[in-house]
Amino acid sequence: MRITRVLGAALLALGLAAAPAAADSSPSPGASGDDGAPTRAGTSFRTATEIEQGQTATARASAGDYLYWSFPADAEQRPTVRAKVKLPETHAAQTWQIDVYDGLRRRQACQYGAQTRTAGADTASVELTCVLRTVRAWSEPWADDPLPGTYYVRLTAVRLPTADLGQPVEAELRVESKDVGGAAAVDGALAEPLVPGIAMRTEAEEKDAEEGSDFPVLAGLEPEDGWSSGWWSDRWVWTAVGGALAALAGVGGYRLTRGSGRPSRVPPGA
Amino acid sequence: MITRKRSAAGVCVLLAALTAGLVAFPAGAAADEPTGRDAPKVNLLLDVSGSMRARDIDGQSRMAAAKQAFNEVLDATPKEVELGIRTLGANYAGDDRKEGCKDTAQLYPVGPLDRTEAKAAVATLTPTGWTPIGPSLLKAADDLEGGNGSKRIVLISDGEDTCAPLDPCEVAREIAAKGIGLTIDTLGLVPNAKLSRQLSCIAEATGGTYASVEHQDELTDRVNELVDRAAEPVVTPVATEGADACAKAPTLKSGLYTDREEFGQQRWYRVDVLAGQELRASVSVGADRAMNPNHGVLLRAVTVHGREIVRGEAAGNGRTDVLSTGLRYPKPEREDDDGKPAAETVCLAVTHSFSAGAGVKTTPGLPLELTVDVVDGPDGASDVASFGLGRGWWLLGTLVLAGFLAGLLWGWLSRWRFAVWRTN
């Protein structure tokens, strides 16, 4: 256990030293509350409200709306999306669902968590969870593994009696990640994270500079400490420590064959 | 109730102020530029039919609630938003259905807002006539024509359309299909099930939202929010028209595009990708009408010779607004540098398997949104593990064992060599 802790500390120190300069994340569009968390949700992929991991986004909406948020997730993170919907005082049974899509708008599977839940007529709220797979730095183009980039969350009622259409509801969304670390480190890296419209971004930035205005982008948020450069993982520490231990063991093995001091068969004074 | 109302209003004002603050500055800065974006336009479409006299919103009449809400909304409207007001059923009180169904008038033209004038105009309204939702939507869409800013119609009604056979849902779909990027949001005042269904159908047809309203503060908050939403800067897609074969397809660059795809149709687009670049494409097909429950979308990247490179597919079941999928195609770097053209044309084919519910019109086609990004290619992976590095106790054990054995071997070797040297 101690070794793990020591390794962890070493990893942290190295990680801090090696972390790329943090880029300022651009502000999220949409109204925000006191703590900067958005208080509104988008209504399509294009208008999805951007949130950061660890923020609790809220939105007032009506039953039947499709609510969209987007958040950035980097390699070696395993994001968990939690949503809570407060239902009106009187309602019939409703089924709510969260779906998570990656930057290419491909639906991402939830490993576990209640992605769909039916709220009975007497329940005041419904809570949904989706634990995504670990984000990998690289995958084959034919696979739909989660890759670093933007993720979209869609929250909606999938089964709704007509009488409940349009009734006011309150939604709350929070995304947190577990850092899986080097266990999920893979070879290879994307040149650009899977952020929609990233190829148009440079163009938009040029225009920004020209006109001094803020051109809208599809997704602008980055993880807190920027997109990881892709080469660092705690595998370096494990391998280096392994190499050092192997060297020590080698010296130990060598010493063993020599015995202690001079060989016994050599007469004194030889 | 009063505290709740006040806090809601407070939040509302805060929202409006924040949004105004966020948005007003860039828009103001861009206003001088001829290339800047056009102002967002909002048209409020208010039902002034006879039923608005009903006194069931917080003890006051629906009309009074709407008037009060409008006054508050006019005060909170961000200054860059061009706001207009249109009424339906405000003027003709007679029984002639034909006349009643033509009764829609522009109360305040869409343009820079003069609050006092707009409020004075709202104050003159008295509940009068029919509910011609379909024809008024058409007129309201005409009011918003021109400019490339975002456009929104907010329809507030307390009764379903009384001017059949013109189905307001179909009207909304046709307006959306004109490709002028218009969204219709609907609000039902104390709605019954039939009105809810109709208004949510109208909203669904254009990607808008529907809300049912039973209190005056809800009405104010919702309209305010919708107006603020219009002011938010969003990327506006470019309209394109895919072909039915790759050879005739339009060539797209990185960007966001919209198109319409009819049932049973294939849409083709072309993208040029250089060696060492990666093509990323995602497509969303919107379900803008009542659909049968099972559906799917397929996006394929195909070479000009017809070989499929990669595909993205999605299938779904039940209620949905869009079905989307995407694909990546990294084109490898070329080893040899002969005179071949560096760019490869990749054909993108989009198909969907939505089917319209019974009795639902199949034209116009479904809205399709296509994102194309051409970026630098990824660094390939030569090993599963990151740089071939290992981790874990098995790795440490193996290394230690190997080191120990190597040490032993080395020790024995040197002892043997020493012994050989001594005997000679």
* Domain B2-231 -> CATH class: alpha beta
- Mean pLDDT over all residues of chain B? 86
Orientation angle between helical segments B133-143 and B193-206, nearest 10 degrees: 30
| pLDDT of A259 strictly over 80 | no
In a domain, A245, yes or no: no
CA A58 – CA B223 distance, rounded (Å): 18
Question: Which residue numbers in chain B have pLDDT < 50?
Answer: 1-35
Cross-chain residue pair B391–A182, CB shorter than 8 Å: yes
Question: What per-residue confidence (pLDDT) applies to A175?
Answer: 95
What backbone phi and psi angles, to 5 degrees, belong to A144? -110, 35
Q: Are B45 and B88 within 8 A, CB to CB?
A: yes
Show me where the domains of chain B are located: 2-231, 238-376
Reported in sequence order, the residue ranges of B158-303 that DSSP labels E, i.e. its strands, are 182-189, 210-213, 238-239, 251-252, 255-261, 266-274, 277-286, 294-303
Q: Are A120 and A50 within 8 A, CB to CB?
A: no
Q: What is the CATH number of the domain that holds A227?
A: 2.60.120.380
Domain that holds residue A29: 2-240
Question: What per-residue confidence (pLDDT) applies to B321?
Answer: 92
In a domain, A98, yes or no: yes
Question: What per-residue confidence (pLDDT) applies to A181?
Answer: 84
Question: What per-residue confidence (pLDDT) applies to A123?
Answer: 93
Residue A129 burial (CB count, 10 A):
16
What is residue A154's DSSP assignment? Answer: E
Question: What per-residue confidence (pLDDT) applies to A204?
Answer: 65
Residue B345 burial (CB count, 10 A):
14
pLDDT digits (tens, 9 = 90+) for A108-150: 999 999 999 999 998 999 999 999 999 998 899 999 899 999 9
Q: How far is CA B340 from the centre of its chain?
A: 41
Question: What per-residue confidence (pLDDT) applies to A183?
Answer: 86
Chain A residues near residue B228 by CB distance under 8 angstroms: 31
Chain B residues near residue A230 by CB distance under 8 angstroms: 379
Q: What is the ipTM of this complex?
A: 0.85
- The three-state secondary structure class of B244 is coil
The residue-averaged pLDDT of A249-261 equals 84
pLDDT digits (tens, 9 = 90+) for A152-198: 999 999 989 988 999 999 999 999 999 988 888 888 888 889 999 88
In a domain, A254, yes or no: no
Q: Cα angle vertex B171, ends B169, B176, to 5°?
A: 95
CA distance A17 to chain B (A): 19
Chain A residues near residue B373 by CB distance under 8 angstroms: 196-200
- The three-state secondary structure class of B236 is coil
CA distance B236 to chain A (A): 9
Chain A residues near residue B308 by CB distance under 8 angstroms: none
What backbone phi and psi angles, to 5 degrees, belong to A86? -90, 120
- Mean pLDDT over all residues of chain A? 82
Q: Which of B160, B198, B252, B328 to mutate to test the interface with A (most CBs of A within 10 A)?
A: B328
For A27, A206, A219, A230, B370, the CA distances from A199, given in Å and listed in that order, are: 19, 12, 11, 20, 14
B171 Cβ contact list (under 8 Å, min separation 6): B134, B137, B138
- The three-state secondary structure class of B389 is coil
Q: How many domains does chain A have?
A: 1
- Name the pTM for this structure: 0.84
Q: Which of B280, B308, B409 to mutate to test the interface with A (most CBs of A within 10 A)?
A: B280
Closest residue by Cα to residue A90 from A64, A116, A63: A63
Reported in sequence order, the residue ranges of chain A that DSSP labels E, i.e. its strands, are 49-50, 56-62, 67-73, 77-86, 94-101, 107-108, 110-112, 116-119, 125-132, 149-159, 168-179
Q: How far is CA A194 from the centre of its chain?
A: 12
Cis peptide before B364 (omega within 30 of 0): yes
- The three-state secondary structure class of A151 is strand
Question: What per-residue confidence (pLDDT) applies to A54?
Answer: 92
Where does the pLDDT of residue A211 fall: very low under 50, low under 70, confident under 90, or very high at 90 and above? low
B104-111 and A94-101: which strand pairing? unpaired
A125-132 and A77-86: which strand pairing? antiparallel
In a domain, A265, yes or no: no
In a domain, A249, yes or no: no
Question: What per-residue confidence (pLDDT) applies to A213?
Answer: 58
Question: What per-residue confidence (pLDDT) applies to B98?
Answer: 82
Cross-chain residue pair B386–A200, CB shorter than 8 Å: no
Cross-chain residue pair B212–A167, CB shorter than 8 Å: yes
A218 Cβ contact list (under 8 Å, min separation 6): A46, A195, A196, A197, A200, B235, B256, B371
Question: What per-residue confidence (pLDDT) applies to B380?
Answer: 77
Q: Which residue of B has its CA nearest to A235?
A: B391
Nearest-by-Cβ selection for A238 from B191, B381, B392: B392
Cross-chain residue pair A245–B327, CB shorter than 8 Å: no
From the candidate CATH numbers 2.70.180.20, 2.60.120.380, 3.30.2420.10, 3.40.30.10, the one assigned to the domain spanning B238-376: 2.60.120.380
| pLDDT of A84 strictly over 80 | yes
Q: Are A70 and A48 within 8 A, CB to CB?
A: yes
Strand (E) or helix (H) holding B175: helix B168-177
| pLDDT of A71 strictly over 90 | yes
B260 Cβ contact list (under 8 Å, min separation 6): B177, B179, B364, B365, B366, B367, B368
